[in-house]
Amino acid sequence: MKDLKLIVQEKYGQIANQSLVQNQSSCCGSTSCCGDVDYTIFSDDYSGMDGYNADADLGLGCGLPTEFAGIKKGDAVLDLGSGAGNDCFVARAETGPEGKVTGLDFTDEMLDKARANNLKLGFDNVEFFKGDIEEMPLPQNSYDVVISNCVLNLVPDKEKAFSEIFRVLKPGGHFSISDVVISGELPEQIKKDAEMYAGCVSGAIQKDKYLRIVQEAGFSEMSIQKEKEIQIPDEILLNYLSSEKLKQFKESGTGIFSITLKAKK
């Protein structure tokens, strides 16, 4: 299998050049991923939130981390995997002009789109940087709040990712992260598939392990703000599983969940 980071870069580079409507026509953002199935499986509706910008919404999230982030006026906020800027612009509405919002992404096409959106909006306190979440090109103790939406499941080394989040947060700062986790065991055909990895499914880890990684990184006051089960349509699963394997999977009790998690440094 090709390096997983390269797979993610390629896939999200393609997605960056599509609209929300196009991205809603498949499970993970492009019709080549899971076939022409008209489902929006993970994403929540942002359209009623202050700061929402339709051009920045590609339908790629799995929650509303800003809803629970407790962002205050003047805060310095970091969005990991900022994409076209959707969560950054919502966060900017909460920090106000006196705050600062930084988006970090490692896909050039997404960064281009986010910067173009920001240019149209005219915000001088929102900026976007290229970087890897496992090795952020950012100073320590710099941010009041870190947010992320359906991105950390795409990071191969989650221990390093949460260690970096801890490093860049100010003492007393916190994160609010929406992500995908698993309860039970995914079939091998899904776990090994690169496209399902890019689609946020096979990269997800066990919920208990995820929470343990956060604790071991040094965070405290950890709480799940929201949790919902994600139902992947049979039409998509049948691209990977035989009818018999699909039946076994559905009877196994395995669940795929979106959680929004908050914790403090």
Please give the average pLDDT of every successive group of 10 residues along the chain, which has 265 residues.
64 62 42 38 76 84 92 98 95 98 94 96 97 96 96 90 98 96 80 54 82 98 94 80 86 87 98
pLDDT score recorded for residue 197 = 44
Cα separation of 156 and 226, whole Å?
A: 24
Q: pTM value? A: 0.84
pLDDT score recorded for residue 154 = 83
Cα separation of 232 and 21, whole Å?
A: 19
Is the separation of the CB atoms in 55 and 64 below 8 Å?
Answer: no
Cα separation of 135 and 30, whole Å?
A: 28
215-248 per-position pLDDT tens digit: 999 999 999 999 998 877 788 788 888 888 888 8
Q: Which helix (H) or strand (E) holds 243?
A: helix 243-251
Residue ranges and CATH numbers for the domains of the chain are: 4-264 (3.40.50.150)
Cα end-to-end distance, the chain, whole Å: 36
pLDDT score recorded for residue 9 = 67
58-86 per-position pLDDT tens digit: 777 788 999 999 999 999 999 999 999 99
**82 Cβ contact list (under 8 Å, min separation 6):** 88, 103, 104, 105, 110, 114, 128
